Structure formats: C-alpha cells, structure tokens
Amino acid sequence: MPSDVTPLSRWMDQHRARMELGPLSILIRKLLSHSLLSTADQEAIAALPHKIKTLPQGGSILREGDQAEICPILLSGFAYRQKVASDGGRQIVALKLPGDALDLQSLYLQKADHDVRMLTPAELALVPLAAIEQLTIARPGVARAILIDILIESSISREWLLNIGRRNALARLAHLLCELHDRVSDIASETSDHFEIPLTQEQLADLLGLTPVHINRMVRQLEKMGAIGRPSRSLTILNFAELAKISSFSSAYLHRSNASRV
C-alpha cells in the first residue's frame, strides 16, 4: 500500500463500491469509520438476519429492565439513551445517529439499564443478538469492530461527563454541536458545512443539564454570533470553526482516524 493513501480512505472507497450490500450497509460504514473489516467480514454483517421496523418520534425500542433479544440498528433518524431519576428528572445520556447499533451491550449484559427512544421518526433493522454473537465468535475482525464501537461510545460518555460537569453553558452547547457535526460528517453520504440538528430546546436542556430558559439564552447568543441558525424547532450549524473556538473542541475522543493506525 503506498504511504500517501490512508488505509481508512481506501477501505471506505471499497465500501462505497459495495453499497449494494443492503440495509445494513450503513452499519458497515459506521464500523469502517473506526475499524478495518475484510470484504468477507462486510458481507457477513450484511447477511445478518433482520426485520425492518419504523418508529414515530418519541417511540421506544428498549426500556430499563428489559431482557433484549434483538439489537436495533438505526438506519435513518436520530435516537437517544435516557435515564430517569426517582423524582421524574430525565437525563439524555447518549445520542445515536444512523448506522449506530443501539444495544450491543445486551450481547453480554442481561438487563437494560436505560431506555432507548427515537428523537425523530426512525427506521430500524432489528437483528437477533444471538446472530451477532455467533458472528463475533466466527469472525474476530467483526468482534474487534464491535468492541471498538462500544469503547468509542464510552469515550463519548466520558467527554459528556466533562462537558456537563465542568464547561460553562455556552461552551457546553457549542461542544455538543461540534461533536454532532463531526459524527454526522462521518456517516453522511455527501459533505456539507451546514447540518441540521433535530433537537428541541427542551431536549437540549435534558441533555446538557440546564434549564430550558438558559438553553434558549445560549441558543440566542450563538445565533447572534452567526454560529448557528434556527430554521424551525431544530438548530442548524452555520459556523463550525466558531463553535469549536468557543468550546476548545478537539475531536480526539471520537477516535475518527482509529482505523488508519492499524
């Protein structure tokens, strides 16, 4: 392999030529964003048995205490993980994008410890956990990619702890938007400088641990700076560089170039 070609781009190009792999292509693309997968590995993932299911906005696919038998793969739309305190206070603890597997932890843990719901109307592929487990036993490359996917999600969780615990409100919001910008870029079929983020201000409040009025104030401030726009009830990122400056954003925790290191 010539040194001026990164393995990542080469493998991604191979994958783009293979988009006929069906609905699970988007999961393969997500895994290829951080892991190397052979052609045979990719074909084996594409051949996983699955049922397609659509859910409306707010629809639930996993509840705390469930003993899951399927792993939902998000094909389109956004989803989130939430935990609810005894007084009803809700915290959104993760955001999931198209291509994300929503419940890999139930491969190895018996009971769900949080809820998974749809942020937008969504399309899911429901894959039996047993089929994924068999695949990980048969194919170490797939097992490694799934492990890396889980490790990166926990890295994102650590960054969110820092974000909520130690950054001021403006930087907290700007940092989240930068992260979503980069994560959407990784799975988007065409690149764009402008991204629509389908989060309402109430959801941002539950995600960032701020009051809705405080969120509105920070949104207004970023809007005045020209960093974001508000076309409807969602937000649009207009100036990533400005948001990155406000939040001192570094994407190292997303491990986006992980595959090229191997």
Partner 1 sequence: MPHYFFNTSNGSPHVDDAGMDLPDLDAARREAVRYGGSLLSDDPGMVMQDHGFRIDVVDEAGGHCFAVRVVIED
The nearer residue to partner 1, 212 or 229, going by C-beta atoms, is: 212
For residues 243 and 144, give the distance between their C-alpha atoms in angstroms, rounded to a whole number. 33
For residues 11 and 145, give the distance between their C-alpha atoms in angstroms, rounded to a whole number. 14
The nearer residue to partner 1, 166 or 262, going by C-beta atoms, is: 166
Cβ-Cβ contacts under 8 Å for 168 (sequence gap 6 or more): none
Q: How far is the CB of 222 from partner 1 (least distance, A)?
A: 13
For residues 148 and 201, give the distance between their C-alpha atoms in angstroms, rounded to a whole number. 32
The nearer residue to partner 1, 178 or 204, going by C-beta atoms, is: 204
DSSP calls for 188-225 = -SS--S-EEE---HHHHHHHHT--HHHHHHHHHHHHHT
Q: DSSP E strands: which ranges in 58-173?
A: 60-62, 70-76, 79-84, 90-96, 115-118, 122-128
Q: How far is the CB of 208 from partner 1 (least distance, A)?
A: 10
Q: How far is the CB of 177 from partner 1 (least distance, A)?
A: 18
Q: How far is the CB of 158 from partner 1 (least distance, A)?
A: 22
Q: How far is the CB of 216 from partner 1 (least distance, A)?
A: 4
Task: List residues near partner 1 by CB under 8 A.
Answer: 168-170, 201, 210-214, 216-217, 220
Cβ-Cβ contacts under 8 Å for 104 (sequence gap 6 or more): 71, 132, 146, 149, 150
The nearer residue to partner 1, 148 or 174, going by C-beta atoms, is: 174
The nearer residue to partner 1, 71 or 235, going by C-beta atoms, is: 235
The nearer residue to partner 1, 26 or 208, going by C-beta atoms, is: 208
As given in the structure block, the two tokens for residue 182 are: 């980069």
Q: How far is the CB of 215 from partner 1 (least distance, A)?
A: 9
